[in-house]
Amino acid sequence: MTVVNSNHPALSTLSEQEQLFQEAVRDFATSEIAPKVSEMDEARQMDPAIVGQLFELGLMGIEIPEEFGGTGADFFTSVLVVEELSKVDPSVGVIVDVQNTLVINALLRWGSDDIKKRYFPRLAADTVGAYCLSEAGSGSDAFALSCRARQDGDDWVIAGQKMWITNGKEAGIFLVFATVDPEQGYKGITAFIVEKDADGFTVGKKEDKLGIRASSTCELVFDGVRVPAENVLGEVGKGYKVAIETLNEGRIGIGAQMLGLAQGALDHTVRYVQEREQFGRSIGSFQGVQFQLAEMATEIEAARLLVYNAARLKDAGLPFLKEAAMAKLFASESAQRVASRCIDLFGGYGFTREYPVEKLYRDAKIGTIYEGTSNMQKQTIAKMLLK
């Protein structure tokens, strides 16, 4: 595994500026998001006020240059933000993650000057973005797309459907992948920027999910949606390259989400075992409980090192494909193990919705599925090892 040569004494050690930023996000999550977590989960609805505050704090345009109204920070900062938000609510973590590590990253890398001028100020100020690749018949086989785009004069016309699109309800800008020539296979895939008010575009069914319920996951329908040629992202027929390279970065963000989730579950559990008494003493005083806490803390720190290392490699311009896959694989599977064990330590209380670990346990399941299943991460890692 490649390890970035950082100036920090340890990969998990943050600079003073990073620590201050992390603390500010943590304070916001604790004071503003935490009181609304249960309500948003039950309602399956992200509080619009929370989304507005994310924009006000600059958390929805972290890598957007300051000239366009963004924060002008690096990718690693996005990872820190997603981690901190996900300690409190992974649903909030993922809306920020998709905005920054997928949509904005794609526009940074592939967008023309015109696209950046038109869309970065909106994405930084008040407009949520969505990344639209998956279809009913296109999951791990990401480029088996049936969504079509045909050229009509200077425009492109898109017809088809997308499924399981995160931020579908809140988004105003959609990065859509469609095939312009099915006979070309993946070489026919092209990326388009579609606006929510485009004629023929509708947001369909919102999924009723096991976890991250406040995060919207929707079907999108394109019924002859006309897109101007200037809204092609990258080159025609190069959409597969846009998708692959963006997802490689996005997986680090999901690793950060799952890392934050696991840390949040452990934090709740450490407090609980010190308060809960059995046999005349706190259950945290029993060695059997202490050993479980130690194992979870060690696993979380290992996940943190993998996620941070992948993010720093990306910022340093070094290869990070294998490291990103490792980070997502380990962090997502660790989150499930940690959240499950935390419920065990809460006992009967952990099985109720009165305590927060139950929700985090439900939220953890998606980590091994979206933005590349665990099996796909293992395949990537193995290919890189055998290359």
Instruction: Supply the residues annotated as catalytic.
Output: 371
**How far apart (Å, rounded) are the C-alpha atoms in residues 157 and 225?**
5
Burial of residue 137 (CB within 10 Å: 0-12, 13-18, 19+) is exposed
Of the candidates 366, 306, 295, 297, which has an alpha carbon nearest to the alpha carbon of residue 336? 366
Burial of residue 345 (CB within 10 Å: 0-12, 13-18, 19+) is buried
Contacts of 172 (CB under 8 A, 6+ apart): 122, 127, 128, 129, 195, 196
Residue 70 sits at φ, ψ, to 5 deg, of -85, 180
Cβ proximity of 287 and 318 under 8 Å: no
**How far apart (Å, rounded) are the C-alpha atoms in residues 275 and 178?**
54
For residue 50, the number of C-alpha atoms closer than 13 Å in the C-beta half-sphere is: 27
- Expressed in angstroms, the distance from the first to the final Cα of the chain is 14
CA 377 to chain centre: 16
Residue 166 forms beta bridges with which residues? 217
Residue 66: how many other CB atoms lie within 10 Å: 12
**How far apart (Å, rounded) are the C-alpha atoms in residues 232 and 155?**
10
| Helix residue ranges, H only, the chain | 16-28, 37-43, 48-56, 75-88, 90-97, 105-110, 113-125, 239-275, 287-315, 321-346, 357-364, 374-386
Query: DSSP label at 373?
Result: -
